[in-house]
């Protein structure tokens, strides 16, 4: 094993950032080239006994059992503990399969980490994934937060999530697997043109790379800059909220009124995020601000995903579905062009 291999170096640097060198580490494995390279490189850097290869069986396609078997063989070959987790739930009607699978996958990986006492979960997302994420954000009209892509390290579902390959390309990881004669499987869903990410990967990305060969690396840099901008916006919001929110989480409009409209929107967005409420679109956020400052009495301003934002005199409160629900009345309705609960 070449210690200067960029794949091995990336894993070594990520693991060196952990607070201890003996706690377990969960490695997410799908059987594809990316996660295969990740598990193989991890086993080259730390004792295999520290590693837990976790495969999430989504049950969304006939080939899923084969993916699980492949990952089990890979883990056994490397002397790594294998943990197979099956998701029994299914996406709801009209729900994005990609978003559903991603959310459940992260929950399962976090549960695996907590059950094994692991310090972190490592995933094999790379620079091409980051570029695709940026394009998805652009297609949705996202702001800096949505366009900032994936972080190299973040906390999610109570565990540390690490992505050591964000500076490496998909081709680099495939080359690693080829050089080490590692068998991989290809997920047919990656070629499904009805899924946005797959369509971007197969149709849009090749055209962009052909027109601008450095696009993937440039997109990764842009995502990093946008992540800095998003972090700065959060820090400004926390400064503004420190003067506008009391210990009970109530937001005082008189304090918010001293800010520019852009800072009002930024602070309100962060306040909702900290309450655990879903953050509305830019248009809905602007309408909420308009109603908040136009209302003169207690008034339900925003109903969305079961939540309500209510004004009472000079204050705003965000009420969760649990706080709102009573058996003798329905929950708040989603926004239908006017604010109501």
Q: What is the pLDDT of residue 304?
A: 76
Who has greater pLDDT, 115 or 102? 115
**For the segment 298-314, what is each residue's pLDDT rounded down to a tens digit?**
666 778 778 889 888 88
| CATH code at position 264 | 1.20.59.20
CA-CA distance, 164 to 95, in Å (whole number)? 30
Residue 328 has pLDDT above 80, yes or no: no
d(C-alpha 312, C-alpha 277), whole Å: 19
Query: CB neighbours (10 Å) of residue 207?
Result: 10
Structural domains in the chain (count): 2
Q: Are residues 120 and 266 in the same domain?
A: no
**In this structure, are 155 and 61 located in the same domain?**
yes
Task: Judge whether 331 lies within some domain.
Answer: no
On whether both 279 and 168 belong to a single domain, the answer is: no
* In a domain? residue 226: no
Q: What is the DSSP letter of 326?
A: B
Residues 203 and 265 in one domain: no
**Quick one: 14 and 162 in the same domain?**
yes
pTM confidence score? 0.84
Tell me what pLDDT residue 325 has.
62
Percent of all residues in the chain with a pLDDT value above 70, rounded to a whole number: 92
Q: What are phi and psi of 195, to 5 degrees?
A: -95, 130
pLDDT at residue number 339: 42
Instruction: Give the model's confidence band at 195: pLDDT under 50 very low, under 70 low, under 90 confident, else very high.
Output: confident
- Close Cβ partners of 38 (under 8 Å, ≥ 6 residues apart): 11, 27, 28, 29, 122, 123, 124, 164, 165
Q: 275 and 215 in one domain?
A: no
Residue 337: pLDDT over 70? no
Judged against a pLDDT cut of 70, whether residue 335 lies above it is answered with no
Average pLDDT, stretch 181-206? Answer: 90
- 156: domain CATH number is 3.40.50.620
Is residue 207, in this structure, part of any structural domain at all? yes
Q: Does some domain include residue 234? A: no
Q: Which residue is associated with the tokens 């894993």?
A: 11
Supply the range of the domain harboring residue 191.
Answer: 6-220
141 and 199 co-located in one domain: yes
Using the structure block, give the residue that is written with the tokens 């649990």.
322
Are 128 and 256 contained in the same domain?
Answer: no
More reliable by pLDDT, 90 or 209:
209
Tokens of 40: 């193989």
The verdict on 261 and 134 lying in the same domain is: no
108, 119, 126: which is closest to 51 by C-alpha? 119
């Amino acid at each position: 094993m070449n210690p200067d291999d960029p794949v091995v170096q990336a894993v070594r640097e990520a693991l060196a950032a952990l607070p201890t060198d003996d706690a377990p580490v969960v490695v997410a494995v799908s059987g594809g080239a990316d996660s295969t390279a990740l598990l193989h490189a991890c086993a080259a850097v730390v004792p295999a006994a520290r590693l837990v290869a976790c495969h999430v069986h989504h049950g969304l396609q006939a080939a899923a059992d084969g993916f699980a078997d492949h990952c089990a063989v890979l883990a056994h070959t490397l002397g790594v503990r294998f943990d197979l987790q099956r998701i029994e739930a299914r996406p709801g009607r009209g729900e994005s399969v990609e978003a559903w699978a991603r959310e459940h996958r992260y929950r399962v990986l976090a549960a695996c980490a907590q059950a094994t006492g692991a310090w972190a979960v490592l995933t094999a997302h790379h620079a091409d994934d980051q570029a695709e994420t940026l394009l998805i954000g652009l297609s949705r009209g996202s702001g800096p937060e949505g366009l900032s892509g994936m972080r190299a390290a973040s906390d999610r579902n109570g565990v540390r999530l690490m992505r050591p390959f964000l500076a490496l390309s998909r081709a680099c990881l495939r080359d690693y697997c080829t050089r080490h004669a590692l068998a991989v499987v290809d997920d047919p869903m990656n070629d499904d043109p009805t899924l946005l990410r797959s369509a971007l990967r197969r149709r849009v990305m090749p055209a962009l790379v052909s027109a601008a060969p450095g696009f993937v690396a440039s997109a990764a840099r842009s995502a990093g800059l946008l992540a800095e901008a998003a972090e700065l916006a959060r820090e400004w919001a926390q400064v503004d909220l420190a003067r506008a929110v009391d210990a009970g989480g109530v937001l005082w409009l008189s304090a918010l009124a001293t800010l520019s409209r852009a800072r009002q929107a930024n602070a309100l967005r962060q306040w909702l995020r900290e309450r655990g409420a879903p953050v509305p679109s830019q248009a809905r956020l602007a309408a909420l601000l308009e109603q908040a400052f136009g209302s003169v009495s207690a008034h339900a301003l925003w109903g969305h995903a079961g939540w309500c934002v209510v004004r009472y005199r000079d204050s705003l409160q965000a009420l969760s579905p649990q706080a709102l629900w009573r058996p003798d009345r329905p929950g708040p309705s989603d926004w239908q062009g006017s604010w109501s609960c």
